[in-house]
Chain A
Amino acid sequence: MYNEKVMEHFENPRNVGEIAEADGVGQVGNPVCGDIMRISIKVKDDRIQDIKFKTFGCGAAIATSSMVTELVKGKTLDEALAISNRTVADALGGLPPVKMHCSNLAADALHLAIDDYRRRHGQGDGTDASVKDKVAAGSDEDKCPGCCGKIGRAVAEGPRPAE
């Protein structure tokens, strides 16, 4: 079902955890759907200095979370924002079609984390409001036909003080 690269990331996920004093946190998904991805970032000089994820979900959900952290570590925020769910799936060598819809949301979580960071650092709420809208609505590309309409699959979490 999954290719070797996906399985490799599933078995040895990179950057698991939660950054204690994160600069930004983003979370997408819903336990009812069976997928939640939470990404926390540490930003320095407009670059992602550290990134960690926690994910509740299937093999694809875990593998995409792991891959997105690997893809953006050390990148500038704008470079990170350019990464889409599709980019993540491609970097994994592809996912089964059904998983493209449900479990491939890691980039959305990342974008929310960046959005959170910018809002907290006085870069305004509007810097990337489109990200939040996209995530909240479910982008066309990644629409989840089963649950989007019914329960709203993406839950954008507001700013929260670092624990």
Chain B
Amino acid sequence: MTSERVIAGMATSDGGGAGERFRSVYLDHAATTPVRREVAEAMAHYMLTDYGNASSVHSFGRRAAEATEEARARVADLMGARPEEVVFMSGGTEADNMSIRGSLAAYSDRGRHVVTTKIEHHAVLHTCEELEKEGLAEVTYLPVDRTATVDPDDVAKAIRPDTVLVSVMFANNEVGTIQPIMEIGRTCREKGVLFHTDAVQAFGAVPFSVDEMGIDLMSVSSHKLYGPKGVGALYVRKGRRIRPLIHGGGHERKRRAGTSNVPGVVGFGLAAELARKEMDDRVRRLTALRDRLIDGLLGRVEFSHLNGHPTRRLPNNVNVSFEFVEGESILLSLDKKGIAASSGSACTSGSLEPSHVLLAMGIPPEVAHGSVRMTLGTQNTDEDVDYVLEVLPGVIERLRAMSPLHAKAVAERAREAAGRPGERCESGPVTPGAR
């Protein structure tokens, strides 16, 4: 448990010295999760004892194959799907690549138009861009509103006679907004186009039913639900065709060549089973922690805004922008206090621009730079939230004391309060996702 993971902190010259102790709070579960102990132990068995190749005829191989099929059934169960509709592969990125490229190739007689959104994961966006460059696709990128929600009417309007596929993520990885999947699924069914959803963040986090939701293709990943990295799956509805990306042996019903990653698949299967059993409890616990963290931060820190939808969001996602400070500075400061989070600032996105998701939501770049994403996990406790609420306001205060923008904003506010509206900042920050 996190509460027991209190570790000796590094001595800092402004801190309490060598004896200082602080909590270690991991709040980056959207990036990846720890593997559950029982999952790791189950995997070890298929590395150390039943290490056969699932394609082999002998008993070692048969045991590996049986374990693979059991795992397939467990993953299918969590999807509300049938086992034969689950194709194991290396992860969510491969599943996204295969969904788009594989369905365009299989249905080239219908056309080559794809409808997606501006807030997809890069595994979808960059695949679409690459297919456009190759001349294999024409892509419509739909906008989102201030809460990062796609309008199902926009999806309906964007579908053309030559549209093959609609790809809309289930829940956004940065701001946690859950899309109106049911409505989009219904639209796609009515218009006779395939519907793919990248459910990497949502799978295991919220209940699923691919049939009710009208999903034809769905990407999921193991390491977001306390399973191992390097394994994921693509759900392919029975009767829907898809061309493989990877060629070789006849593994996975000829849809994904390559020796089965038996330990990985077994771990994924068990993680999915645990997620299914613990779903209600996880959703309840995480939602309560999430809302306490959001309310606590917005209440304690002025000039802060929630990014994403206030209620239709993943149970574990908190994404807050703190104006006048920059995300990387916040992350470095939090890390020094043992808190692991992420940000949509340019400095942390590895590019020169802030998060494409925040910009698509209409959040001004300078506010996007100050975003912090904290994603909770099953190990987090009320004490962890208390600790963040204790530490974060001070971090923001320290950085704002250094920021030339903060002083200016405070002065402007004072002028406005005095009834003398001051000179406005050219791109004045706007309140995103007001609660």
Contacts and interface: CB of A to CB of B under 8 A. Distances in A.
A43 interface: no
Interface in A1-38: 2, 7-8, 10-13, 16, 18, 27, 31-38
Interface string B294-306: 0000000000000
Contact of A31 (B14, B347, B427): B427
Interface string B395-435: 00000011111110000000000000000010100000000
B401 A32 contact: no
Query: Chain B CB within 10 Å — which of A31, A54, A146 has the most?
Result: A31
Contact of B326 (A18, A38, A58, A147): A58
B389 interface: no
Contacts of A54: 402-404, 407
A57 interface: yes
A146 B347 CA distance: 12
Interface in A37-83: 37-38, 53-59, 61-62
A58 B346 CA distance: 9
A33 B346 CA distance: 8
Query: Chain B CB within 10 Å — which of A2, A16, A34, A62 has the most?
Result: A34
A138 B329 CA distance: 24
Given A11-B12, A144-B352, A56 B404 contact: yes
Query: Chain A CB within 10 Å — which of B14, B327, B354, B402 has the most?
Result: B402
B345 interface: yes
Query: Chain A CB within 10 Å — which of B346, B351, B406, B407 has the most?
Result: B346
A97 interface: no
Contact of A12 (B14, B406, B425): B14
A102 B352 contact: yes
Contacts of A102: 346-347, 352
A158 interface: no
B394 to A, nearest CB: 13
Contacts of A32: 364-366, 427
Contacts of A85: none
Nearest to A6: B332
A147 B402 CA distance: 24
Contacts of B346: 33-34, 102, 146
B49 interface: no
A22 to B, nearest CB: 13
Contacts of B332: 2, 7, 10, 59
A34 to B, nearest CB: 4
Contacts of A61: 326, 329
B84 interface: no
Contacts of A145: 352
A58 B345 contact: yes
A103 interface: yes
B13 A12 contact: yes
Interface string B345-381: 1110001111000000000111001000000000000
A56 B324 contact: yes
Nearest to B351: A146
A2 B329 CA distance: 12
Contacts of A144: 352
Contacts of A37: 404
A163 to B, nearest CB: 9
B403 A56 contact: yes
A36 B13 CA distance: 26
A103 B347 contact: yes
Contacts of A13: 402
Interface of A: 2, 7-8, 10-13, 16, 18, 27, 31-38, 53-59, 61-62, 102-103, 144-147
20 contacts: A11-B13, A12-B14, A16-B402, A18-B404, A31-B425, A31-B427, A32-B364, A32-B366, A33-B346, A34-B366, A35-B326, A55-B403, A56-B326, A56-B403, A58-B326, A58-B327, A61-B326, A102-B346, A102-B352, A146-B346
